[in-house]
Structure 1
Amino acid sequence: MNRITDAIKHLIIINVILFFVPQLLKLDLTNVLALHFPKNEHFGFWQYLTHIFMHGSFAHILFNMYGLWAFGTPLEKMWGRKKFLFFFFSAGIGAGLIYTMVNYYQFNGIYEHFINAGLNNSEIISILESGETNDSRVVENITQEQFNKITSLFNTPAVGASGAVYGVLVAFGLYFKEAKLALIFFPVPIAAKYFIPVMILGDLFFGMTKYSVGNIAHFAHIGGALIGFLLAYYWKQNQFKIH
């Protein structure tokens, strides 16, 4: 069994503290630390960092911390603490930025329908904050599906280290291609070089279709995986080069 390394140990401790202590104190930090949509009044730039340490359920934090330990340990041993932490936070922050970009694209597509229906920005924001309206301009020009989508984008904050962990997972796959991995619901071991691309393609499929199960930020996973791949690939290609 892998001995827990320093950076991973401290990351897990911080995540566990921020999950359990606010619950014990009956303190809701969601509006401050979770990643909100930029037009939401609770949005803050620091949330691209702090959302990494917030989790929505015990299962959520359990799977993320297990993934961080299982796939991050060999990377920290190989790279060292400082380089691993740089990688982890780069993937996590990058995941949040890409997630926001995708949400902004989807948001603006529907927002234009509100503008074309004759509403101004303050009216639209007020409607989105309330999550409901009887305004005839909205009822006649915006479908229920569009309304549900834009209110969800506006009001639902993102939490979790999943994006950063996906970056770690991709880096693990680049350096340990033949390592055998398995899922609980598909317990047959598969080499990392096949397993990880399938997981990412699954997120891409669910993120672009209506078949997603639960409130999962698929594009945050993809964003973290992309940043993790670019950084790990660059390091792998250049680690033996002398400048």
Structure 2
Amino acid sequence: INAIVFGMWQLAPLQHLMEKYFVHHPLSGRMFTLLTSVFSHKAAWHFGFNMFALWSFGGVVYRMFGKEQFLAFYISSGVTSSCISHICSLMFKNWKNIIGSLGASGAIFSCLGACAIKYPDASVYLIFLPFFPIKIVYALPAVMAFDLYGIMSGKTLFDHFAHLAGASFGILYSKYGQEQYRNIQ
């Protein structure tokens, strides 16, 4: 789905429709974009980085949960991250500075959070320290601190709220969600 949506972004005649239906603008009133924006990547670097991260962490979570539970986890975490970002954008940002949000980062951060709980001794490489392996239980708080700094300083390079919401979702789901999922089966 991500690749198809990315391909659609590359077609100039579709730009207006993509912006309208695959970017979540908190002031637009189009709540369905809380879901569609999770599969949307406009820039090649954004698509490439997120798909590499999804391949790296999503595969582990897929093996942990299985197909159906992974899909439920991924979509739920993506929509939850979008919702938290939506609420925080309206609460904490200057109305003139509210921009649209897109990408799988919230869902990917959920995968990172789930991996950190399940495999705390696993090592990962961070993009800003690519040659130094770091235990995931240290890497996750480091990237969450980076996002918190982005929020507190107002230097929003990314959707920091979605990242933090996603990581929190992954941690909580790994600790408590699997049992709840089994109970509704």
**Corresponding residue SS for 1:45:** coil
Q: Judging changes above 3 Å, is the alpha-carbon distance between structure 1 residues 239 and 50 closer, same or farther for their aligned structure 2 residues?
A: closer
Alignment of 1:74-153 (within 5 A): 74-107=60-93, 149-153=94-98
- Distance between the aligned counterparts of 1:238 and 1:45, measured in 2? 26
For 2:56 and 2:141, how far apart are their aligned partners in 1?
Answer: 18
Structure 1, residues 118-139: CA drift from partner, whole Å, max 9, x if none?
Answer: xxxxxxxxxxxxxxxxxxxxxx
Unmatched segments (≥5 aa) in structure 1: 1-13, 108-148
Query: What is the CA-CA distance between 1:92 and the residue it aligns to?
Result: 0.6
Q: In structure 2, do the counterparts of structure 1 residues 150 and 233 end up closer, same or farther at CA, with 3 Å as the change threshold? A: same
What residue in structure 2 maps to residue 199 of structure 1?
143
CA 1:211–1:32 in structure 2 vs 1: closer, same or farther (change >3 Å)?
Answer: closer
Amino acid at match of 1:232: S
- Count of residue pairs brought into register by the alignment: 180
1:26 match: secondary structure: helix
What residue is the counterpart of 1:26 in the other structure?
A: 13
Counterpart for residue 222 of structure 1: 164
The residue aligned with 1:64 is 50
Work out the CA distance in 1 between the residues paired with 2:83 and 2:62. 24
| CA deviation after TM superposition for structure 1 residue 168, in Å | 0.6
State whether residues 69 and 181 of structure 2, in contact with CA within 8 Å, keep that contact through their aligned partners in structure 1.
no
Q: CA deviation at 1:202?
A: 1.2
CA contact (8 A) 1:68 1:165 kept: yes
Unaligned runs of 5+ in 2: none
Q: Partner of 1:162 in structure 2?
A: 105
Aligned twin of 1:35: 24
Runs of 4+ in structure 1 deviating by more than 2 angstroms, as ranges, are: 235-241
In structure 2, C-alpha distance between the alignment counterparts of 1:239 and 1:98, rounded to whole Å: 22
Amino acid of the structure 2 residue aligned with 1:174: I
Tell me the equivalent position of 1:189. Answer: 133
- TM-score, normalization by structure 2: 0.89
1:8-27, Cα deviation, whole Å (9 max, x unpaired): xxxxxx11111123423531
Give 1:228's aligned amino acid.
G
Query: What's the offset of the Cα at 1:235?
Result: 3.9
Post-superposition offset of 1:208: 1.4
TM-score, length of structure 1 as denominator length = 0.69
Q: Which whole-Å CA distance do the structure 1 matches of 2:107 and 2:36 have between them?
A: 12
Q: CA deviation at 1:43?
A: 3.0
Aligned to 1:229, the other structure's residue is in SS state: helix
Identity between Structure 1 and Structure 2 (%): 31
**CA positional deviation for 1:82:** 0.5
Answer with 1 or 2: which has the greater Rg.
Answer: 1
Residues 32 and 188 of structure 1, relative CA distance in 2, 3 Å threshold:
same
8 Å contact from structure 1 (residues 53, 161) kept in 2: yes
**Residue aligning to 1:113:** none
Kindly provide the amino acid, as one letter, of the partner of residue 94 in structure 1.
T
